């Protein structure tokens, strides 16, 4: 990870807000989230790491969206993907789509959460389209798994961008820093490649991190590791290495694209304000990637022991942390006994 992670000074208030919100939406009823699992996963700490410069109000809203996405993914995996319940999965997705179209939600926490978010958001047609793509990607994985089919690696990478809502995450990052950019610039092939590469990094890394819990236990056949293993006829560890190399290649591609942006800005005739917005957008994507990595390393969501535990945000260790740093001025204590610390 060539980018530096920072922690928002609003982290404690966002954690408090998000926990209250998920409880109000009924997401802590025990399936798939218990209160202990929610606390260990530290969903309230996700936004403060991925959007370190956002205002408190924006950060609360952004973190609600991300937390809802985590909940929908976990609920779908537990309720429909692992038991191969295709009919139930279709009904679950249909209900979410109906809420998006304006129907009143049922008592289902996923529906209630979506209805609440929609009521507090300004969604355009493109946003709704990307949400539908997210829902359809869930069904795509379910259908493949129910059929015991391991997808082609290229198809899988493209669908994973949808299943983690890459477009929506990039847009939240852009809005959080007030980057107003021309639509024609955002549709530019280089900018599209930037967003695709941005989405591939966390999507593919979570395929590795969650492999033993979900894919190796037969919970899903839709895995980048399995797809590479089958496509190349190699062992699991070799397949993991290929996926890791792809992640590294995407990070290098992001760096290369960033180097091209000044000339693209000139090509589109951006004024000084728009160029500054483009710079803030790129910095927001970099912060998001670095923050997501640190959150993944510290979150109990990926600790599949019977009693998961959240790790502190200081002193990161493990693959990818040599180039990761927490800026001292942005570090707040996560627990009462933690010290302020900067890590290089």
Tell me the per-residue pLDDT of 231-255, one tens digit each, with 9 for 90 and over. 999 999 999 999 999 999 999 999 9
Which candidate, 50, 21, 189, places its Cα nearest to that of 109?
A: 21
Q: Whose CA is closest to 137, among 117, 157, 116?
A: 157
Q: Would you state the pLDDT for residue 215? A: 81
Average pLDDT over all residues of the chain: 88
Give the torsion sign (CA, 319, 325, 330, 335): positive
Residue 100 has pLDDT above 80, yes or no: yes
% the chain with pLDDT above 70: 88
Compute the average pLDDT of residues 52-79. 97
Please write the tens of the pLDDT for every residue from 279-311. Answer: 999 999 999 999 999 999 999 887 766 555 666
Cβ atoms of residues 293 and 324 within 8 Å: yes
pLDDT on residue 295: 95
Average of per-residue pLDDT across 28-43:
92
Residues 254, 158 contacting (CB under 8 angstroms): no
Distance between CA atoms of residues 174 and 195, nearest Å:
11
pLDDT band at 327 (very low <50, low <70, confident <90, very high): very low
Buried b (16+ CB within 10 A) or exposed e, 235-248: eeeebbebbbebbe
The pLDDT confidence band at residue 322, using thresholds 50, 70 and 90, is very low
Q: Up-side HSE of residue 96: CA atoms within 13 Å toward CB?
A: 27
DSSP per-residue string spanning 124-153? -HHHHHHHHHHHHHHHHHHHHHHTTPPPPH
Q: Pick the range with the lowest mean pLDDT from 18-32, 187-201, 323-337.
A: 323-337
- Tell me the pTM: 0.87
Cα distances (Å, whole numbers) of residue 232 to 121, 152, 225, 227, 229: 44, 11, 11, 8, 6
Residue 217: pLDDT over 70: yes
Q: What is the dihedral of CA 91, 143, 293, 254, to 10 degrees?
A: -110
**What is the DSSP code (8-state) at residue 267?**
H
Q: Can you tell me the distance from the alpha carbon of 125 to that of 107, in angstroms, rounded to the nearest whole number? A: 26
Question: Distance (Å, rounded) from C-alpha 109 to C-alpha 280?
Answer: 35
Q: Is 333 a residue whose pLDDT tops 50?
A: no
Residue 149 pLDDT > 80, yes or no? yes
User: What does the pLDDT read at residue 220?
Assistant: 87
Condensed to tens digits (0 to 9), the pLDDT of residues 172-209 reads 999 999 999 999 999 999 999 999 999 999 999 989 99
Q: What is the rounded average pLDDT of the residues 216-222?
A: 82
Q: Backbone phi, then psi, for 230, in 5-degree steps? A: -75, -40
pLDDT per position as a tens digit, 71-91: 999 999 999 999 999 999 999
Cis peptide before 32 (omega within 30 of 0): yes
Measured CA to CA, the distance from residue 166 to residue 11 in angstroms comes to 23
| DSSP-derived 3-state class of residue 165 | coil
Considering just the CA atoms, what is the radius of gyration of the chain in Å?
A: 20
pLDDT at 30: 84
For tokens 């091209």, the residue is 260
Sign of CA dihedral 183, 101, 89, 304: positive
pLDDT number for residue 329: 30
Q: Nearest Cα to 198, choosing from 132, 260, 290?
A: 290
SS3 5: strand
Q: How far apart are CA 121 and CA 117, in angstroms?
A: 6
Q: Residue 338 pLDDT > 80, yes or no?
A: no
Question: Quick check: 314 and 33 in contact, CB under 8 A?
Answer: no
């Amino acid at each position: 990870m060539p980018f530096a992670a920072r922690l928002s000074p609003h982290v404690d208030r966002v954690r408090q807000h998000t926990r209250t919100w998920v409880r109000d939406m009924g997401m802590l009823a025990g399936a798939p989230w218990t209160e202990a699992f929610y606390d260990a996963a530290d969903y309230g700490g996700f936004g403060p790491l991925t959007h370190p410069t956002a205002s408190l109000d924006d950060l609360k809203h952004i973190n609600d969206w991300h937390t809802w996405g985590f909940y929908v993914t976990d609920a779908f995996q537990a309720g429909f993907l692992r038991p191969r319940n295709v009919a139930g999965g279709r009904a679950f997705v249909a209900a979410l789509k109906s809420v998006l179209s304006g129907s009143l939600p049922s008592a289902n926490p996923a529906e209630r959460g979506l209805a609440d978010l929609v009521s507090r958001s300004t969604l355009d047609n493109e946003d709704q389209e990307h949400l539908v793509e997210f829902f359809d990607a869930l069904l795509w994985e379910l259908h493949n798994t129910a059929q015991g089919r391991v997808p082609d690696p290229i198809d899988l990478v493209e669908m994973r961008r949808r299943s983690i809502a890459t477009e929506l995450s990039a847009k939240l990052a852009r809005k959080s820093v007030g980057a107003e950019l021309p639509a024609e610039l955002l549709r530019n092939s280089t900018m599209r490649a930037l967003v695709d590469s941005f989405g591939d990094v966390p999507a593919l890394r979570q395929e590795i991190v969650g492999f033993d819990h979900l894919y190796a236990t037969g919970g899903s056949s839709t895995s980048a590791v399995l797809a590479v293993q089958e496509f190349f006829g190699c062992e699991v560890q070799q397949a993991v290495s290929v996926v890791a190399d792809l992640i590294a290649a995407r990070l290098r591609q992001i760096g290369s694209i960033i180097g091209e942006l000044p000339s693209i800005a000139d090509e589109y005739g951006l004024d000084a304000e728009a160029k500054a917005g483009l710079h803030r957008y790129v910095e927001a994507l970099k912060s998001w990637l670095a923050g997501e990595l640190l959150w993944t390393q510290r979150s109990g969501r990926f600790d599949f022991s019977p009693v998961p535990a959240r790790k502190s945000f200081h002193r990161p260790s493990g693959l990818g942390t040599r180039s990761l740093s927490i800026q001292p001025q942005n570090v707040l204590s996560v627990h009462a006994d933690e010290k302020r610390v900067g890590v290089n």
